[in-house]
Structure 1
Amino acid sequence: MTIASTAGTTTARLPRWSAAAGTYPQWYEDPLSCLQTTLGSILLEHGLQPVDVLGQACEFAYAPGDVMCEEFYRPVQSDRGVAGDLCPYHDVESAWTTGSTADDLIALVEEHSRVIVAVDNYYLPFRPAYQDVHAAHLVVVPAWRRTPGGDVEFYVSDAQPPAFQGWLSAEHLVASWTSGNPSDTQDVFFSSREIGGRVLTTAVRQRPEELTAGHVLRAFRGNVGRWDDGTAGSSDRVWTGRAGLRRFVDLLCEQAADPTALRPAYTFGWAMQAQAFLHGRFAQEYALTSGDTRAAAIAVSADRVVSAWSNVRLLSAHAPNVSGISALIRRRGEELLHAYEQLAVDWRLALAKEGADAR
């Protein structure tokens, strides 16, 4: 690997990935969605450990009014795109763009070396939903080629079970990439929004480095700051932190009279739940290597947030069949608030310990 510096930015210049060199790196853990697994795979390609990068941040962010019917949905907060929001402590960014033809996709792969492509599982022969269920998904496309007969094929990497990677005809991929993804009663959560030829391009300008106590404390400090300083005013496009979660819980309670209105919480909550899971993994692994008991406590609290999200998501998904939904939504929402508050307490305790040690 060579390192080139342009405009004051150090950028890792990787050789273009080629299927001749082996399979594309894949990364998957439950309960992650394709958003985390595709980004994690690209981080691996750059020599970075996904848990160390994606696991540092943990926050609440909700955009009222957003369309939330995709597995990979997460509200974008910053000008660094969704990848920057998930990796706020690293030099990573992303941007959405669109295309409509195989030539468009070839050009994007050539320009960015690899891209994350939005697809409809209905048109992908390697997905269990093939020719059965419409559902939005993400895959990594790092290469393309022409067959001896002149047809175009793309290399597709999909870490989500049952996991696949290999060459796929442009016909299949482009049909999936440009699908209308119509509403499907078999998957009411991840259908009904057009795929529309969307592509997520990514830039990783971060060299692999050893994780230090300073990095860990920076993450804890930033997380508790975003929790305390969150906003949820009438003019805020994204509700964040403690204030945002309180208003989100109130909104769920208001919507309980119309159970179908609660459905988006199942989709939206996946991104928040996955981030809490990764933060717990991050804190747990740091605690094991450092012996830091405060980090171990953070890992436990992050797992409580994961469990609390499971309760909110599943209750919202099955609300039409649940009696006494209003009281249950309030109860589960308050449990979620409490879980985040306990996590924030443990962040503060870890930071206070560091301050005491410094004295």
Structure 2
Amino acid sequence: MTEKAENDGKNQHSSETNGFKFAVTLLAAFGTIFYTVYNYLQHTAVDIYWYKFLCGIISVTLILVVGLLLYILIMGWAMEVHSVLAKRKAEGWASDIYLASFLAFVMLLVYILLTFVAYRNGWISPKSELPLAILSFLVCSILYYLFFKETTISEDVIGLFFIILLLLYYLFFKETSINNRHAAELVIIFGIIICCLPLIKKPGSSEKYGGYQLIKVVYLLALVMTILLLLFFPVLNSPLQGHVTVDMDSICYTDGAPIPVLIQVTGPNTNLSIKLSKESDHNLTLIDSIKLKPEHNEKQTAYINKNSVLPGNLSGNTLGEGKYSVFINTTNLTTGYYEIKSVRPEYTESYGVKRFYLLDNS
């Protein structure tokens, strides 16, 4: 018995060590991936859907990284603590966090993939994402019921009922926008079912463990989903959004001839707003502005000045791969300092600015 206990202890210690090494290795791999994605977005223009997809993947991965860091910290503390009771509690929490992190990673990854595919194919609008969230949760629930051995027949029946209820909910409301208006009812139904799980077993029975474990994991998943919502928008507006660079051949030009301007966008390649302003008494006065789309359009190479009855001062088009060609018409511009500013309306924190001086040609 003593030898068997020693072997079991060695096997458990080996398993904990392997899990610890796996978590550290995974963190190192994620660090490399993050740097690669960051470097790519700093030098390449990408479609807005691909950009949001990458930001979603990064947000989901960051949640897993946080879970792995917590697991490493708790397991490291458990390895050093001398109290057997404290050690078991720490290992239990580490196990729950480890399980919830990977289940949440799978659930959110499925959600991001489904959302990306649905948007790209025009299957859904931004107001009908709830069915995708439900489907993602179902995938996570199925994984839980397949691999969590402590579940019982009664809990499986409740879980199956929950799945059928959600499917009926989706099929009944899928053609309307009522999904969003009735999100509260869905949360209430979800909460009632989860709260009923501990009542499946008799009071005082040790078989309640599976139900309590399920509740803890579900609560952790809800917490993770909240964290995702908090992470996604900061990631969208992080340094991942790239740069907008305005390039001109000189800082001094003569009036009468058009001035070529090359604009390079990296990161999300969305609509581009370009403004031409004149400096007077340390103030900028808007002269003309145009908006360019990422798609080349031969009919939009010239624009009418909305601020004046005179011909427009800006014209341009896209050259592809995040490059835009813009020309400044100087025939009706007076001598002085000018500023041309290019910004993406959805990402105003990164913009490109150039200033130049216009001379009188006469």
Same fold (TM over 0.5): no
* Superposition TM-score, scaled by structure 2 size: 0.26
Return the TM-score normalized by structure 1. Answer: 0.27
Higher relative contact order (CA 8 A, sep 6+): 1
Q: Which has the larger radius of gyration?
A: 2
